[in-house]
Amino acid sequence: MNAEHAREVAAAEFWVYLMTDLIMFSVLFACYAVLHTATYGGPTAAELFSLPNALVETLILLVSSFTSGLAMLAVHANKKDRAMAWFGATFILGAAFLVLELKEFHELIVDGNGPQRSAFLSAFFSLVGTHGLHIFTGLLWMAVAMVQMKKKGLSTFIVSKLERLSLFWHFLDIVWIFLFTVVYLMSRIA
């Protein structure tokens, strides 16, 4: 198998992975949709969630998607230093998003609103936590990719990895837009 064929196979396999992730998130969204009113006398989403904080998280993640796109433009222009800078910005924004998400989780749990409080909160922590775990995974992947890019340059192999990383990052942004809409925005109208 030549290098080009191996790259195409890896890309196809990655699309299969993304589709399985899509199915998993679809199931988590369905669980949340079914359980979002199952508060058992506890607080509702409207009482718990801060729309301004969720909006800040959304803006941070959307900007990180933009910087990831700029990084890939630099990669395809064979500008390693510029790509490193844009991926560095993406990493910082992703880490800021994750810190805000963990802060929200911590505040909810400290206030007695952890996943064990109600089916609604269990579904919330499962859905948002799974997304956060994916963000953490993306950050680890990005850190490793940046080290490899620094050491090995923009070889065909590294570019292929970076393309999949960028696709993964954009996928997480799309999932977050649905999550923001379903969990945070719809809590105001439900």
Nearest-5° Cα angle at 180, 178 to 186? 95
pLDDT of residue 119: 96
Domains, in order of start, for the chain: 3-189 (1.20.120.80)
Cα 187 from Cα 184, distance rounded (Å) = 5
Cβ-proximal residues to 129 (8 Å cutoff; 6+ apart), any chain: 105
What is this structure's pTM? 0.93
Any long-range contacts for 12-17 (C-beta under 8 Å, 24+ apart)? Answer: 14/164, 14/167, 14/168
pLDDT by 10s per residue, the chain, length 190: 677 777 788 778 999 999 999 999 999 999 999 999 999 988 999 999 989 999 999 999 999 999 999 999 999 999 999 999 999 999 999 999 999 999 999 999 999 999 999 999 999 999 999 999 999 999 999 999 999 999 999 998 899 999 999 999 999 999 999 999 999 998 877 5
pLDDT of 7 reads 77
Q: What share of the chain is helix, strand, coil (3-state, %, to 5)?
A: 85, 0, 15
Distance from C-alpha of 179 to C-alpha of 185, rounded to nearest angstrom: 9
